[in-house]
Amino acid sequence: MNDNQLRKELKVTAIENGTVIDHIPSKSVFRVIKILGLDNIDNQILFGTHLDSKKYGDKGLIKVSNKYFKSEEINKIALAAPSATLIVIKNYKVIEKRQVEIPDTITGIVKCFNPKCITNNQNVTTRFKVIDKEDIKLHCHYCEKITKKENIQFI
């Protein structure tokens, strides 16, 4: 890590061990916290919004101490923060960096676009198959209708 990068990391304070989720769109930081359930855990969490980013101009960032995420767990945030990078830190050192990936199925994060769907009428958790990862098309397991990218609403 060069000095420049290091300074950027330090802006919200470095962590000894844990995970940094970088390159989150600023407006999605609270959404990501909610999707990952970070509002309900005891770990130390630091986050920032509207930080400078070379790549995107503006970004959000979350640091969670002493916590590591499984791929299927972290991929849940892909719809809210498709550009997010996961950085695994041990002993102040970057051990691993990886991009989040849109998962094959999505459970309970977004609403079905169809007002006549059972998930919008009774207490039923939404379930989708991602039939197009580029263009984001979600096929509802229940009503079998497709929710497109522009119609995605988070729960």
Residues at the site binding another protein, with contacts judged by CB under 8 A: 114, 116-119, 121-124, 140-146
Q: How far is the CB of 57 from another protein (least distance, A)?
A: 37
C-alpha atoms less than 13 angstroms from C-alpha of 23 in its C-beta half-sphere: 14
Burial zone of 70 (CB within 10 Å; 0-12 exposed, 13-18 middle, 19+ buried): exposed
- Cβ distance to another protein smaller for residue 75 or 119: 119
- Cβ distance to another protein smaller for residue 87 or 140: 140
Look at residue 124 and give the partner it binds from Zn ion, another protein, none, a contact being a CB closer than 5 to 8 Å depending on partner kind. another protein
- Give the C-alpha separation, 33 to 26, whole Å: 12
Chain length of the chain: 155
Look at residue 123 and give the partner it binds from Zn ion, another protein, none, a contact being a CB closer than 5 to 8 Å depending on partner kind. another protein
